[in-house]
Structure 1
Amino acid sequence: MALPPLHSFKVFECVARLGSLAAAAVELHVTTGAISQQLKALQSSLGVELFSKRGRQLVLTSNGRQLHTRVAAALREINDAVGELVIDNEQKQEFVSITLSIPPAVGTEWLVSPLLRLMCKSQSLKVSVITAAKMAHVDWRRADVAVVYGTPAWPGYWWRELHGIRLLPVCSPQFLRGPMAIHKVEDLLKHRLLHEDDGSQWQRWLAEAGCLRGGFENAYFEDFGIVLQAAREGFGVALSDEIVSKRDLDEGKLVCPLPSSVPALHNYYVVCAESARECPEVRAFIDWLLETVCLSN
């Protein structure tokens, strides 16, 4: 039996290590479609399935795990051998560099944690992270890709919605008990409402819930991180999203006292210059971002 091309095994090892077609495409400087075609050709040549779908996730089959163990070891041997022959090999290694702009870290744990895992697993991907609160603040002299909280259109830029945010009330667990407990919409009248805008988000939520007015007092903050911190410490009730506040909800720092949710007036988008979409690494990195958010939903 003739062996498949060595490059196809490199592609297989990369996908198996990173667990993502898009992440492998970024590391290997190609498109996600090219990675998919290489894997299909390898599986067809070997006559076995190397990966299976588990929901939206790509996982190794038993045959895939067996092959990956041997292939990864073989590639390490090749890399070590080349490293012994080439002086200053690390300086000659080709890296993929992506600069990503994201909003301030509070509320973006859903993105930061997968990004850190990718950076740890990847052998040649270097991601530099900068921050900008709004689209107008993104430094496009440095950024290749940006995650932006806002509303298009942005002339000269390509964008895609990362996920549709649905806002629901979140508060400290202390608001689930005692005389100030929140069990129905009208109970919000006892509490301060926390805003990150001019009040439009809460007005929309209250209208959908059939309530004509909110709490006895309002507090306005430009920084969403301060809004969430105020909610954690029991200073009022905020509107957030189950994905954005996933860690706080999982750890019990915040709870959802009422199930009603409404679409947000703004959403998170992945954005890049229209010209940058022609770069395979940028396209693959955007594919990875979209894939990552799908897996977190």
Structure 2
Amino acid sequence: MLTIMSRLPLHTLPVFRTAARLQNLRATAVEMHLTHSAVSQQIGVLEQQLGFVLFERRGRRIVLNEAGQALLCSVESALAQLDVGVLAAAATATGVAQRLRLTVMPSFLQRWLLPRMQRWRQRHPDIALELHSSQQVMDLQRDGFHAALRQGRGGWSGLSDERLFDSPLVVVASPATARRLQGGGAAALVHEPLLGDADLWDLWFSEAGLTVRTNPVASFNDAGLMLQAAEQGLGIALGREFMVADALRDGLLVQLSEQRLAPDADYSSYFLVYPPSLCDWAPLQALRSWLHDEVCALQASAAAAAEETPARKPRRKKAP
């Protein structure tokens, strides 16, 4: 085994990892910017050096066998550790701030993360965050990200995840809309312009004791845009409680009802996600600690506000 390890062709391991994920040599060649024959040759060299095959050929697909699956676990961990080492070495050699690449959903970035970035910089001026906004679930290792903020159930394959918070849906509108509807209850919303998903609105009305088939005036692929539309008085929105917390505090939105709609299980929670090999990397540890502190501060603020104003009502304009 020692002889095998000392002569293991390390340059073939990234190709092996990519081929294991894509299960296709041609697709691997495209992603790695190699020729098809070069990919096939590198995998052949690796198998020859090890003395056993790693893939089963099934037509145009290649699938890891048990030996390949065992090797992949170690290869992914080892390559991730090398990435961490390179990051640390580069920071030491250049003396520049360390950089953490984070991919995050646009609505989360706009409504929650950006308003708190000044506190991050004050706490960690030596760690630069490189933020990538996308609706797509990115492959962290393939696309070069250290961590992600994701919405879902958790349990992403090959990644560690830490739950940040759960967030029910609440009904919000602009202050002008709220003043006009004050005291009307759920029935007053039936004929109002609604924003967002019709099924969620139907469920919200059902839990309020009303049978309604809603037809929202606009739907959005991004919750941040929907909340902007609500702030501008274009309609009433069902928004995640944590995403509207700042707007409620600043008076940009008003919560119209204490009734909350529990989100479905697939989208109920928000997580910090990262490769297990980066768990002890100092910049990631700093991000984890800061995020949890920010969540605790938000929850404490919301609890205090609820005690002061049990029923959120729009402020009345003072008489001139």
Q: Per residue, is there more helix in 1 or in 2?
A: 2
Are residues 1:262 and 2:264 paired? Answer: no
Aligned to 2:315: none
Aligned to 2:185: 184
| CA contact 1:169–1:239 (8 Å) conserved in 2 | yes
Rounded Cα–Cα distance in structure 1 between residues aligned with 2:117 and 2:216: 39
Report the alpha carbon displacement of residue 171 of structure 1 after superposing the two structures with TM: 0.7
Rounded Cα–Cα distance in structure 1 between residues aligned with 2:141 and 2:98: 20
Deviations 1:21-60 (A, max 9, x none): xxxxxxxxxxxxxxxxxxxxxxxxxxxxxxxxxxxxxxxx
- More moved, 153-162 vs 165-174: 153-162
Aligned to 1:210: 209
| CA contact 1:176–1:182 (8 Å) conserved in 2 | no
Q: What's the C-alpha RMSD, in Å, of the aligned pairs?
A: 2.8
| CA contact 1:119–1:127 (8 Å) conserved in 2 | no
SS of 1:259 mapped into structure 2: coil
Q: TM-score, normalised by structure 1?
A: 0.60
| CA contact 2:163–2:272 (8 Å) conserved in 1 | yes
Are residues 1:250 and 2:255 paired? Answer: no
Rounded Cα–Cα distance in structure 1 between residues aligned with 2:109 and 2:183: 24
Distance 1:103 1:155, change over 3 A: same
| CA contact 1:206–1:212 (8 Å) conserved in 2 | yes
Aligned to 2:103: 101
Rounded Cα–Cα distance in structure 1 between residues aligned with 2:141 and 2:221: 20
AA matched with 2:137: M
SS of 1:289 mapped into structure 2: helix
| CA contact 1:191–1:217 (8 Å) conserved in 2 | no
Report the alpha carbon displacement of residue 262 of structure 1 after superposing the two structures with TM: 2.3
SS of 1:190 mapped into structure 2: coil
Deviations 1:76-117 (A, max 9, x none): xxxxxxxxxxxxxx9753633211122215664432233332
Report the alpha carbon displacement of residue 231 of structure 1 after superposing the two structures with TM: 1.1
SS of 2:106 mapped into structure 1: coil
Distance 1:107 1:201, change over 3 A: farther
| CA contact 1:158–1:271 (8 Å) conserved in 2 | yes
| CA contact 1:170–1:237 (8 Å) conserved in 2 | yes
The within-5 A match list for 1:137-176 is 141-176=143-178
Give the gaps of 5 or more residues in structure 1. 1-89
Report the alpha carbon displacement of residue 168 of structure 1 after superposing the two structures with TM: 0.7
Rounded Cα–Cα distance in structure 2 between residues aligned with 1:122 and 1:100: 15
AA matched with 1:241: R
SS of 2:188 mapped into structure 1: helix
Report the alpha carbon displacement of residue 163 of structure 1 after superposing the two structures with TM: 1.0
SS of 1:244 mapped into structure 2: helix
| CA contact 2:171–2:255 (8 Å) conserved in 1 | yes
Rounded Cα–Cα distance in structure 1 between residues aligned with 2:97 and 2:195: 44
AA matched with 1:116: Q
Rounded Cα–Cα distance in structure 2 between residues aligned with 1:279 and 1:239: 38
Distance 1:167 1:272, change over 3 A: same
Rounded Cα–Cα distance in structure 2 between residues aligned with 1:224 and 1:108: 10
SS of 1:226 mapped into structure 2: helix
SS of 1:135 mapped into structure 2: coil
Aligned to 1:276: 278
Deviations 1:146-195 (A, max 9, x none): 112334342112212211102110011222334x5562111111112211
Count matched residues: 205
| CA contact 1:131–1:138 (8 Å) conserved in 2 | no
| CA contact 1:146–1:271 (8 Å) conserved in 2 | yes
Q: TM-score, normalised by structure 2?
A: 0.56
Are residues 1:194 and 2:202 paired? Answer: no
The within-5 A match list for 1:20-169 is 92-93=94-95, 95-104=97-106, 108-136=110-138, 141-169=143-171
SS of 1:240 mapped into structure 2: strand
Report the alpha carbon displacement of residue 139 of structure 1 after superposing the two structures with TM: 7.7
AA matched with 2:184: H
Rounded Cα–Cα distance in structure 2 between residues aligned with 1:139 and 1:170: 38
Report the alpha carbon displacement of residue 217 of structure 1 after superposing the two structures with TM: 4.1
SS of 1:155 mapped into structure 2: coil
Which structure is larger by alpha-carbon Rg, 1 or 2?
Answer: 2
